[in-house]
Structure 1
């Protein structure tokens, strides 16, 4: 005999509470394992495809590991130092950029920037504050990140966990399937498939889109000659998962920097603007439809809410679990809505049979 619904809700509620408490008290301990699991989940389709090509799971995992190590070494030697240097230089040149902007406004709208005007005082204070606090904030963020993720965890435990999970991913999924309550196994499998499809579309698809667009923006802006092209491309690619926001922030930052660097060279300024226009066209018509799909099921506002709530409650660990939890809640909410619309509560009472129907 199946458990009553009240008892089932009680047990699942206890499980959810234990999960939240574990995140709250063991976030730093669970962090490398969550990171490793996220990496394994991201790379599992690659391993499956290699298996279909004839490789064993061990060989597929080994090939992916070697490729990941090579990419990591190249990033550490070539990209990361340049990115850090450009970020620091951008912060340090903020007062000069502010003065250039002030001079630009003064030449064309002198009445707006009198010596005692609020706008002039605000611009001067802004540039000084960015220089004084920006570098401090950047260094503090790096220090906090380093203290949160110990170097040993980042460079040793996370890759090891990712490799082991990737190697045993299919066996783990099969083991979890055997533990499902038999009465609800078909429904749970259906929900799990929908959650996986949502996550695959968003995490893998949008992650690939962010990587492609970030690389494109950075390389194109550096080829045009923009001083901080790598930083701008990194920022634009990082926030591309929110529709239009990546191009808006990156484009505004890039065009603003181009106006000061290339003032009078309208061809270069037009090229910078054209880079983002082309990026938006390619993203909207090619990358997102092909890699993400037309219906992901994660609305940007819902995603931002989940990131904000889980990030505030659980810190960096909360940011990692926010997207999977948001996807799961969205799928379960759609499932519950469909069941509600099929229920008597939504449709009302069944019409009473007529006399003719009773006779038939």
Structure 2
């Protein structure tokens, strides 16, 4: 198969996959969630196998424990978070108004000094417009996630079908990997396997490691803010922990939310406000120096900006399904782009001297046998023709 036909084949396969994803996005959520769950739990199944437990019993034990802890977590956390979310939405206008009032009261001299006597009204109007636009965007984003995921598939199918799909995939994981490996083109099997290992290392390092980081930080923030006595502490802590999946976004979001609520609630008690900020500073320190280096590592290869773009793009296009697919696809594209860059760096398109040397070698081969030596001065190859048989020295 020629290079053009290979490119055409893979472009067609990619187009068919994207079209299928668009057409079937309404029913793919429990299956993709089951695939992600099986992928995350596969290393645990390997550990059970090393202990002498078969694949089937290990899968049953792992999924039963996971479902048990998941149900307990829902029963304990969801009612508290739901009540705090309703109260937070109800008090949001009053909280924003109080923050604007404090900002105008304590920043009025500075604002008037640099902006003039009418600057206060302009600042109030600007802050109001920004907050209304932010609230509108956030509501639209949540609505797109809801309509793209839960409203189409339903909570029931997600909770029932996902464990079943994960069970069958986890049992047959090794067989599926070997089967897919047998389909690879034999000519490029070594390169494809190497790329697959790099993708697996990037995806596994981020998903499994960052998931543990999110759970640990979310628990720490929720407990710490609740002990301080902050309103909506559990909700803000959980949101911060979940958003920690995107580097720097979770801690920054939690810092802004908790700081705003703390100022409105505790003002002018700076001790409690400082304690609220200290919780996030300490959590960020632990994440950057202990959790992320130990659990995530340095071989992820997913840039935070690229990750944020992928999550927002796929989330807006495919809802919750897009959020599940964003990180694996972003990591895979990153691996392929680095491979393409290495190929480009080794090609004559990057270094024209390689093309010149190749042309010189081709011309020399056409002229006859040559002896190739390297000059000691510039390292360039120099062609020396062998002496003719009629020369007196031969």
TM-score, length of structure 1 as denominator length? 0.88
Corresponding residue for residue 343 of structure 1: 347
Corresponding residue for residue 311 of structure 1: 315
Give yes or no for contact 2:221–2:240 (8 Å, CA) kept in 1.
Answer: yes
Residues 321, 120 of structure 1: alpha-carbon distance in 2 compared, 3 angstrom cutoff: closer
Alpha-carbon deviation of 1:308?
A: 3.3
Give yes or no for contact 2:84–2:235 (8 Å, CA) kept in 1.
Answer: yes
Corresponding residue for residue 92 of structure 1: 90
**Structure 1, unaligned runs of 5 or more:** none
Q: Deviations over 1:152-182 (max 9, x none)?
A: 3112111110111111111111111111111
Give yes or no for contact 2:219–2:238 (8 Å, CA) kept in 1.
Answer: yes
Give yes or no for contact 1:50–1:60 (8 Å, CA) kept in 2.
Answer: yes
Residues 224, 134 of structure 1: alpha-carbon distance in 2 compared, 3 angstrom cutoff: farther
Q: Give the counterpart of 1:328 among 312, 326, 332.
A: 332
- Tell me whether 1:185 sits opposite 2:157 in the alignment: no
How far apart in 2 are the matches of 1:209 and 1:157?
Answer: 27
What SS does the corresponding residue of 1:180 show, helix, strand or coil? coil
How far apart in 1 are the matches of 2:126 and 2:245?
Answer: 33
What SS does the corresponding residue of 2:4 show, helix, strand or coil? helix
**Structure 2, unaligned runs of 5 or more:** 362-371, 373-381, 388-394
Give yes or no for contact 1:255–1:273 (8 Å, CA) kept in 2.
Answer: yes
Alpha-carbon deviation of 1:72?
A: 1.7
- Count of residues paired in the alignment: 356
Give yes or no for contact 1:198–1:296 (8 Å, CA) kept in 2.
Answer: yes
Alpha-carbon deviation of 1:43?
A: 1.0
Which is higher, the Rg of structure 1 or of structure 2?
A: 2
How far apart in 2 are the matches of 1:178 and 1:313?
Answer: 33
What SS does the corresponding residue of 1:28 show, helix, strand or coil? coil
Residues 99, 299 of structure 1: alpha-carbon distance in 2 compared, 3 angstrom cutoff: closer
Structure 1 stretch 44-53 or stretch 304-313: which is displaced more?
Answer: 304-313
Q: Give the counterpart of 1:301 among 280, 302, 305.
A: 305
Alpha-carbon deviation of 1:107?
A: 4.4
How far apart in 1 are the matches of 2:75 and 2:282?
Answer: 30
* Superposed CA RMSD: 2.9
Give yes or no for contact 1:39–1:162 (8 Å, CA) kept in 2.
Answer: yes
Give yes or no for contact 2:145–2:316 (8 Å, CA) kept in 1.
Answer: no
Alpha-carbon deviation of 1:270?
A: 1.8
